[in-house]
Structure 1
Amino acid sequence: MSTALTDLFPYPIVQAPMAGGVSVPRLAAAVSDAGGLGFLAAGYKTADGMYQEIKQLRGLTDRPFGVNLFVPQPEHAESGAVDLYAHQLAGEATWYETELGDPESGRDDGYDTKLAVLLDNPVPVVSFHFGVPAPEVVDALHRAGTFVLVTATTAEEALAVRQAGADVVIAQGVEAGGHQGSHRDLPENGCPGTGVLALVAQVRETVDIPVVAAGGIMRGSQIAAVLAAGASAAQLGTAFLATSESGAHALHKAALTDPVFPRTELTRAFSGRPARGLVNRFLREHGPYAPAAYPDLHHLTAPLRKAAAKAGDAQGMALWAGQGHRMARGLPAGRLVEVLAAELDAARAALSGFPTSGGEVR
C-alpha cells in the first residue's frame, strides 16, 4: 500500500526510535541509506542535544529520516508511593555505590523547546509517544512540511490520533520492546495490551489513515503478515538494537540471545511505566512493587542503571527487548534492511504462488 509517507522510502521498514542512546545518527543514517526510514530518539535528550544529532545525521545521509518526541505526562503519582519505592531501592544504591536519582528532575522532557527547534529546522518526519500532540502542534508541523506519526496501543487511542490530524498511526502491539506508548497510564490499568496483528485489524476498521505496525517484528515474513493485515509499513526496534551501528551497550546486545535471559515481561520497575524488557534480577525483585510513576521512577533509577552498566552487571540494567529478541541478528544495519527486504519479497512471492527471485532484493 503506497501512502505519501511510504513514498519517502523504498522498503516498508521503519527503524523504531529507541531512547537512551540506542538510536544514534549512524544507525538512522544506515537504515535510511539502505531504503528504510531511520529515526532519532529525542527522548531524555536536551533540545540542543537533539539538534546536534539532527545536524550529524544530515551530514551522514541525504535520505529522509524521522525524530521522535515524548508527550509530557500528567502528574498522578503519589509522592508517598515514590518515597516507598526509593526506600526499597536503598540496598541497590549501596550495592552499586551510588545515590538514587531525584524523582523531581522534570516531567516534560523539554517538549516545547524541542518542538520549537523542529519547527525552525524542519525534518521530514516527527513521531510522538505517550500521547497525542495538540491539533495546533500537528498543524504547525504540517505547515513546516513534516509528516506526523503518533503511537496508539488501542483502537480508541488511534481514533484520538486521527482526530488530532496526524498523518499516520503507529499501532504498537503488546509484543513491542521498551515502553508501551499508551496515552494514559493510570495505576488501575495494570499492563494491558493487544497483539500487533489484532491491533492493526482493529485500527484499520476504526480510522481511515495509514497504519505502521510495531511489536515483536524481526523477520521479513512478519513484515509481510502485518502488511497483509492492512499496515502500510512495519516498525522494528529490537531487530535494529542488535546491529553494529546501534548505540546499545554491548551487554544489552549480547543479552538478546543469551540463554540466561530467555523471556521478556512488561514491568514498571525501571521507569514507572509499562515497558517490555528481558527478565533479570532487578526486574524480578522490584517489578511487583513499582508504582505507576513515570517519569519519577525513570529519574530515580537512572544512577542505578548507569552504575550497573559501568560495573558490567546486566542483572541491574534495563534490558529493553521485544518478544522476538532471540531472533536478533548482529548484522550491519544497512545489510539487515536488505535481508529483511529479501525475506519480505520471498514471503510475498510464496503467498502469491509465484517463485521467488532467488532471494535477491528487488
Structure 2
Amino acid sequence: MQQVKAVVAMAKGAPVEIVTINVPDPGPGEAVVKVLTCGVCHTDLHYREGGINDDFPFLLGHEAAGVVESVGPDVTDVAPGDFVVLNWRAVCGECRACKRGDLHYCFATHNATQKMTLAEGDLAGTELSPALGIGAFAEKTLVAAGQCTKVDPDARAAAVGLLGCGVMAGIGAAINTGAITRGRSIAVIGCGGVGVAAIAGAALAGASPVIAVDIDAKKLAKAKEMGATHTVDSSQVDPVEEIKRICAQTYDGADGADVVVEAVGRPETWKQAFYARDLAGTVVLVGVPTPDMKVPDIPLIDVFGRGGALKSSWYGDCLPSRDFPMLVDLYRQGRLDLDAFVTEEIGLGDIEAAFDKMHHGDVLRSVVVI
C-alpha cells in the first residue's frame, strides 16, 4: 500500500478537498496507474452535487491518461510502463450482451475489487467511491486492469486522456450510435465538450451539412473550428425550422437532418431534436438528464408517422480497446484535433475554479496535470 494526494468530495455540495489517500497494491485483475493528466468533466460536478448517488466520499476524476506502475497476478494485457487511457467500460466477457457480441453494451463492466481509503484524520480508513470506477484526480489510482487501454506513448497525455469520457461520448454518439457517414446530414444541439466532439466526429466521417446549435456565440465559434458547416443561434431563431431550411438547401426535399444529436439532456431540446430530423431520421440522446426529467408530450402518431429511431448513447457506444487506439492514431496523423479540446492545464488545487468556469461556458475542458 502507498499514500498519495487526491481530490475528494466529502459531502454533498461542499467544496472539494485535497487529502491523502491509501492506494492498495494491485490484487488479481487490478493495476495501479500513475496519473499524468485528468480532464474536469461535468460528471465530476454531478458527483459532488449528489446528482449520481450519495455514496460519499467520492474520489473524483475519470478522464485520465497515465502510466501503469504495477499489476496484480494474472494480468497479461498491460504491463508496468505502458502508457494508457483509462476507461469505464472494462468488458466482462460473460454477460448476455458480451456473449451475443455486443461488448459495447456490457452489463457488468469491471472495476477494482479493493477499495482506496482516506489515510488521515477522524475518517481514516473510510472507503472511497471512485468516480465511474476510476478516481483519477490523484497522483495514483487503483483500477481494474481492463480499464487500462494502451495507446501510442508519443501522444500528448492531456489531449488523449479526454477520450476517457466526454470526447469519446461525443464522437461515438455521431459515428457509433448515429451511424453518421458521408452523404448524410447531422445537427448537434448543445455545443459543450460532448457536443463539439460529436461535431468533430461527424466532420471526420464526412457528413454534410454539419449543423451546430447553441445559444452561446463562443461555443458556436468553437463548433465552427471543429468542423461545423453551419451554426444556429437558437436564442434568435427557431432551431427546428432553421435546421430544416439548411438541410433542404443541401438535399432537395429534405425535411430535417438525417441524424440529430441532443447533447444538452433536457426535455425541451430533446423535443427539438425529435422534430428537427428528416423522415426516418435518427435522434441520439447523449446529454445527461436529471432523474426528475420526463419525455416531453409528443403525439404518438408523430412517433409512428416520422419513423426512424430514437436512441440513447451510453459512452458513445464505444469499445475502448477498439476505438481509443484508432482515435489516437487519427490524432497523431493530424486528422482529429484533440488538442483543441484542452482549454487550459491546471493543478489539483484548481478544480473548484474549473467547476465555476464550466458553469459559465468558458472552457471545453480544464485538464489537471499531475
Shared fold, TM over 0.5: no
Which is richer in helix? 1
TM-score normalised by structure 1 residue count: 0.29
TM-score normalised by structure 2 residue count: 0.28
Which is richer in strand? 2
